[in-house]
Structure 1
């Protein structure tokens, strides 16, 4: 996470005292393990809702959701800040929609999204992170349900951030609901390995365009070998790769932007992200507008979106 924060310029926000305080982020995933990085010194797991097994206390029988939440909002308590997430003072609304295998249904996702929309004012939810995806570019009932659900959330003011999926590098491999025209779809950025300085193109990252010729993803963020919170006391941190990891980087970064510009609408946030992205000289079907970079968002790009 140190590298992630460096590449996205998050330190620029921290220098201004922006840590995402008061920003609620809904995470639709496999749940959350009550890791010290979320509950020490204060508990920032504001809500836990289980749409799979209907348990009442936070748990994560897969680990994916805990990793995502750590990238967004972990405060690095156990690692002395090394694995701190992007917005360590934001609070989490955790909606468990995936089982212990990491599988779920469109119906469950839709119920969780509807619940989030109904409770967004009560829990100050501004952002919804969805690091899941159905099969790429297939016009199925499931895909239509997912797309309609995230657009329902977007139309009710939520900033919806979705993963591009890991079905790349072929064209048209964006997974649903990342195919939605409205939401912010995030791909995994190429990584630079030292000391040799070789680049990895993160070939797994989903590419556009969609069947409706929409340019996707809009933006890239680090998503390769990200160390974040684990779901076992004996292994408090774990490494994962994928666009699932890139999406929460952007979700957490948006919380920092909202900390400075709390009145921005979801459309204004999206416009700001695209204006401030750093092109990486890759095809637009892979990189969209470029790499997510926070300083430009905070230094005038969001004043007049």
Structure 2
């Protein structure tokens, strides 16, 4: 059965498009690769001009001053003009991929392929839409016996992840911009959505600014996106409250829903680029791509490696620019496929599976691992009988099932975290979400790191750097605590603990200025406090937090500092890498012994600047890089791709280097 997964029930009609859309990839951007980041160049200034002030601020927070990457530079106008002169109809300009999507007359395909600036011409894959597996339940406001709280029927789905508690502390997601990619949004008419802050919306299917149904849409087109939007952003007192209702939103219609649909990867990539340029902090999508229409090349499980699909690569490029991305794991748990679907296979995305109200895994929830062995999904949230708005009405609601309903709940938790701590960079947000979930000490390929919790995420300690001092923040929501009794107990790993008092305290948050240590020194710590009766509490109760001094990530299991994604090959740390400060970056990997290890470090222009190889020892191995190329010259600021090969199996990692 052909599959495009977008996980809530909609109504279908038959639509057929006769034209074939293609990706046209260019050989270059028509500029000298050695000078492409010159801030005085017109290309650099053009790339900068596409970013809003919010996007620039988010990039600076995550990347430092080197905020423009090679992928951001514009496509060469001469190439675009020549294509149009040959009769090509350009649809989307995807500068991140140095390509366009376009309709090419059949008799001109070979001509376009022969153009000297064209690297490749590949069909844009067209995807069948799959119905949800369970019928919806439609209910009107007046039919409910409301719960005795302001959340109404939405209380259960939020309370499972401790969201109402965080809301009660005044944290509602404000000052965070969330982007939703879906089938359409009938938000202006529905009472739970009409007052929400929508910064911008765009229809990438029909190229206009209306995401609700129009004449050219099939009935039910905007049903799915409307429900998803309400789960994260809705607000109707005593009826429906979203997980991050105080946030602002960007809405992208990327999917066209019909029996013989043309749901295309270029829409998704174009929407992510649009959102990133507008300054989005968090994105959430409730869709997945696996198998395709008859006559099209289908993706296979082997392609679920984070490196194949346009949508997965687009998510990782957005992450490089500071965006946190969530997506549904998929509803394939009961099918022959069973695995997660793209873009849930992306390296940096947080793929979200589904559990019921008792935190039991839903049998439809897709599982991992990725083809290259990474744990998926990352987290789970409630995805059975989730309550949300019904499109086409002003006051009707429904219950629905699917990982598309769990993804907006989880994305809302990240928005609450970023709202409380706006200084966090996206790698910290991702790490905290994973570390604070219920199964973080034993992640698996059914529930990943476990049930996501807003309370646990906000209470997990975090680090910020101010004027070369590291400040540790700990939230304690326990209302019975003696506020003056909170202490930090800190030690170099294996040494005695020293007790430190907090420097500031506000709204349940305690800040501690850390003593100075050598970079990458392993530290461990815990907190204590007393309640109003003098009872002593230790956090964590029976373990210690761990960190590498100079890194912004904290763990309950030091291995996860090396590896939030898998631990055959670790993440690179520290990341971002400042050569003058950190001296070296490290990568850990495990080996059975006598395996050939090869590392190729590749710059943004695709050139291999450094090759490292060795025969591996049994157990853990460590590789270091000082930032120099094979000519022993320090590398330029930018994004570098680490391609690791161990006995023929490949792993990809990315590093940001800032001089």
TM over 0.5: yes
Match of 1:112 among 263, 271, 280: 271
Residue 271 of structure 1 is matched in structure 2 by: 431
Greater relative CO, 1 or 2 (CA 8 Å, sep 6+): 1
Q: CA, structure 1 residues 178+143, in 2 after alignment: closer, same or farther (shift >3 Å)?
A: same
Name which of 233, 238, 241 aligns with 1:84.
Answer: 241
Worse-matched range after superposition: 294-303 or 215-224: 294-303
| Higher alpha-carbon deviation: 135-144 or 63-72 | 135-144
Instruction: Confirm or deny: 8 A CA contact 1:47 1:92 kept in the other structure.
Output: yes
Aligned equivalents of 1:154 and 1:142: distance in 2? 14
Which of these residues, 190, 194, 200, is aligned with residue 47 of structure 1?
200
Structure 2 gap segments, 5+ residues each: 1-153, 214-220, 291-299, 463-472, 474-552, 555-659
> Is the Cα–Cα contact under 8 Å of residues 289 and 343 in structure 2 kept in the other structure?
yes
TM-score, normalising length from structure 1? 0.88
* Cα distance in structure 2, aligned partners of 1:64 and 1:273: 26
TM-score normalized by the length of structure 2: 0.42
Cα distance, 1:234 vs structure 2 = 5.9
Verify the 8 A CA contact 2:288 2:341 in the aligned structure 1.
yes
Aligned match for 1:153, one of 312, 318, 325: 318
Name the structure 2 match of 1:223: 383
**How far does residue 225 in structure 1 lie from its aligned partner after superposition?**
1.3
CA shift digits 1:146-203 (9 cap, x unpaired):
11111111111100001100111578601101011211111002443xxxxxx85311
- CA deviation map 1:185-223 (0-9, x unaligned): 11002443xxxxxx8531110100010101011111001
Q: Give the paired residue count.
A: 290
Residues 90/212 of structure 1: CA separation in 2 closer, same or farther (3 Å cut): same
The Cα shift of 1:58 comes to: 3.9
Q: Does residue 161 of structure 2 align to residue 8 of structure 1?
A: yes
Q: Which residue of 2 aligns with 1:179?
A: 345
Preserved contact between residue 184 and residue 252 of structure 2 (Cα < 8 Å): yes
* 156-165 or 127-136, larger mean C-alpha shift: 127-136
- Residue 326 of structure 2: SS of its match in structure 1? strand
**Residue of 301, 313, 317 corresponding to 1:137:** 301
Q: Which structure: larger Rg? A: 2
2:416 to 256, 269, 277: 256
Query: Corresponding residue for 1:195?
Result: none
* Residue-by-residue CA offset, 1:7-39 (whole Å, 9 max, x unaligned): 110122112101111211100001211222222
Give the aligned partner of residue 461 of structure 2: 301
How big is the shift at 1:275? 1.4
CA distance in 2 between partners of 1:143 and 1:229 (Å): 35
Structure 1: runs of 5+ lacking an equivalent: 193-198
Residue 192 of structure 2: aligned partner: 37
Question: Counting strand residues as a fraction of each chain, which structure ranks higher?
Answer: 2
SS at match of 1:92: strand
* SS, match of residue 375 in structure 2: coil
